[in-house]
Amino acid sequence: MQNIRNFCIVAHIDHGKSTIADGLLEFTHTISQREAKEQLLDSLDLERERGITIKSHAIQMKYSAQDGNTYTLNLIDTPGHVDFSYEVSRSLAACEGAILVVDAAQGVEAQTISNLYMAIDAGLDILPVVNKIDLPSAMVDVVKKQIIDLIGCKDEDIILASAKTRAGIEQILEAVVQKIPPPVGNENAPLQALVFDSVFDSYRGAVAYIRVVNGTIKEKDEITFFASGKKYLAEEVGTLRMARIKTGELKAGNVGYLIAGVKELHDTKVGDTVTHTRGGALNPLPGYKDIKPMVFSGLYPTDSDDYENLRDALDKYRLNDSALSFVPETSAALGFGFRCGFLGMLHMEIVQERLEREFDQSIVTTLPNVEYWVSKKDGSKIIVDNPAEMPLQGDIEKVEEPYVKAQIVTPSEYVGNLMQLAIEKRGVYKNTTYIDPTRADIQFEFPLSEIIFDFYDKLKSISRGYASFDYEYIGYRESDLVKLDIMLNGEKVDALSIIVHEKKAYTWGQKVCTKLKDLIPRQMFEIAIQAAIGTKVISRTNIKALRKNVLAKCYGGDITRKRKLLEKQKEGKKRMKQVGNVEIPQEAFLAVLQIED
């Protein structure tokens, strides 16, 4: 156990976490240079495109250190986005140390800070690394100073590296061996193994990635998962290199995988503890949380005949992503679909994109919303994750919404713009810390609903891309929220209802009405578009009746062409959604998602 080191890398997005990891794997001959070209730890296409890690993975290296010993190094990768912060926390709990990577040209950013704090909170030893020192725009001294201010280390503790030229890689490995403590634990104690990740294998079922904290797990052991209470037989145990290496057992301090015939990813929950069914530990490891979705949206098939297909796709998708939740729901406008819960906006986008790309689904989504707590005048309390379920305005005593604490790091010249944006987004200013004279770390509290929408894009645009942002959930607070309905000829379009702050309702309503006027084609009657809170109409416009749509000529030579055109038009009409008599093109629902609030 003395020769094992478990560590992770924390960094802001694009600061070089993956390339540093590649450098380590290559130096230890875990992978060849050619293999390193592909950033290995990010294995989904989408992750590679976005340069972020969604799922964490682990890989083991053997390193012959300068002290003459060979060490087993387990590098545990962490997801790089706030939507997955619980998963990050479990990955961190599997480590004793963290390499903090900061880009020499960018300096400390919001995620550098938030991930660092999480690592420190998890009790990890920090190895600071300034990466990309070969860049012409590198400001090594400035960034070193920022890091010293941030973690209070000494100048000589900071390793200067370039994942590209492989400078500093050996130094990092030496520091891992010397400065990160070996794991502590008793291999003879009752088994406690932390599940820090799990993946789905179509042949073997759920594969749990585990850190054995105490005890030893062997193949053929009878095991129990604490959270689900379910019992299994350990079929296969091993370590993780480029592939799974079957070892037959894993002892305290080590990291590896466990296959136990678990059919669903749900039953290998991240944060859960594995123990022996007989003579096992009395208590699980601390820190298990059942993760809850934060953002909700309706997903509907473009063609209502595809409802069953979408259900199959969601079922299959969930095998690989236990964080996604879904229940059937019906919309008068969109037909049969599902209300889905996501960890955050990125998670939602990923699910949608993967459903479209990998499962070939064509879907329409409704505006995302958070979960509200509604207290009614009759004393009852309900949870609302769909605007359609909001009680009537008159029956509501109060509405509470989730708030987050946000950390924004920005060059100081954009502080003014940021304050402006924060006001628009109902932010509550908390405090400012200067990382150095030119960079401010500002904290706000925001309603979650305000930042799930277009906050990130706006932040980037007001700061020319320099500001960065991270947040964590802090609890529910009362707000003046109302349900805003959109009506076409007096009929509610349920899929367009939203819950919105009273002060923003008017502008929002106006924007939606204008957008719909542009996108709904003229029909044979006039269409009144209204935005209303309860019975009070706050915005209205109308689409004039279609007065002429007829081909002037249709003689012998025109008939085939005209019939084909008609077939196409009928097909188009079939794809329209209908509310009352009004036909709404799918684009109208999508366009509402693009409206800036």
Partner 1 sequence: MKETALYIHIPFCDHKCIYCDFYSIITYENTSSYLQSLKKEISFYAEKYNDDRKIISIYFGGGTPSFMEPEYISEIIEHVKQNFVLAENPEITLETNPGTVDKQKLENFNRAGINRISIGIQSFNEDELKFLTRIHDAQTAIKTVCDATKAGFANINIDLIFNLPGQTKQKWLNNLDEALRLPITHLSAYSLILEHGTILNKMVLDGKVKMQSDDYDAELYEITIDHLTQKGFEQYEVSNFALQGYECMHNNAYWRYKDYLSFGTSAHSFVNGKRWWNFSSVKFYNDAVSKNGNGIAGEEILTKEEMLDEYVMLALRSSGLDMNELEKLFGRSWLIKNQNYISRLIEQKFLTLTSTLLKFTSKGYAVCDEILAKLK
Q: Determine, following the binding rule CB under 8 A, whether residue 243 of this chain makes contact with partner 1.
A: no
Applying CB under 8 A, among 546, 575, 587, 590 the residue interacting with partner 1 is 546
**583: Cα separation from own chain's centroid:** 35
Q: Determine, following the binding rule CB under 8 A, whether residue 393 of this chain makes contact with partner 1.
A: no
Applying CB under 8 A, among 155, 554, 575, 590 the residue interacting with partner 1 is 554
Which of the ranges 57-65, 142-150, 156-164, 555-563 carries the binding residues for partner 1, by CB under 8 A?
555-563
* Burial of 307 (C-beta count, 10 Å sphere; 0-12/13-18/19+): middle
Residue spans of beta strands (DSSP E) within 49-188: 58-64, 70-76, 97-103, 125-131, 159-160
Residues that bind partner 1 (rule: CB under 8 A) add up to a total of 26
Q: Determine, following the binding rule CB under 8 A, whether residue 503 of this chain makes contact with partner 1.
A: no
Which of the ranges 163-171, 201-209, 431-439, 546-554 carries the binding residues for partner 1, by CB under 8 A?
546-554
CB nearer to partner 1: pick between 551 and 590:
551
Site string for partner 1, 461-500 (x = CB under 8 A): ----------------------------------------
Shortest distance, CB of residue 552 to partner 1, whole angstroms?
4
Q: Which of positions 293-322 make contact with partner 1 (CB under 8 A)?
A: none
Two structure tokens written together for 6:
């478990």
Site string for partner 1, 46-65 (x = CB under 8 A): --------------------
Q: Determine, following the binding rule CB under 8 A, whether residue 570 of this chain makes contact with partner 1.
A: yes
Adjacent-strand bridge partners of 484: 498, 533
Identity of residue 132: K
Site string for partner 1, 511-540 (x = CB under 8 A): ------------xxx---------------
Question: What is the distance between the alpha carbons of residues 444 and 431, in angstroms, rounded to a whole number?
Answer: 7
CB nearer to partner 1: pick between 465 and 490:
490
C-beta separation of 265 from 318 below 8 A:
yes
Question: What is the distance between the alpha carbons of residues 448 and 425, in angstroms, rounded to a whole number?
Answer: 10
Question: What is the distance between the alpha carbons of residues 447 and 428, in angstroms, rounded to a whole number?
Answer: 9
Which of the ranges 261-269, 329-337, 422-430, 556-564 carries the binding residues for partner 1, by CB under 8 A?
556-564
Question: What is the distance between the alpha carbons of residues 476 and 478, in angstroms, rounded to a whole number?
Answer: 7
DSSP secondary structure code for residue 557 in this structure? G
CB nearer to partner 1: pick between 457 and 518:
518
CB nearer to partner 1: pick between 245 and 546:
546
Question: What is the distance between the alpha carbons of residues 146 and 161, in angstroms, rounded to a whole number?
Answer: 16
Q: What angle separates helix 140-151 from helix 110-121, to the nearest 10 degrees?
A: 40
**CA dist 248 → 189, 221, 244, 459, 578 (Å):** 18, 10, 12, 51, 60
Residues that bind partner 1 (CB under 8 A): 523-525, 544, 546-557, 559-560, 562-563, 566-567, 569-570, 572-573
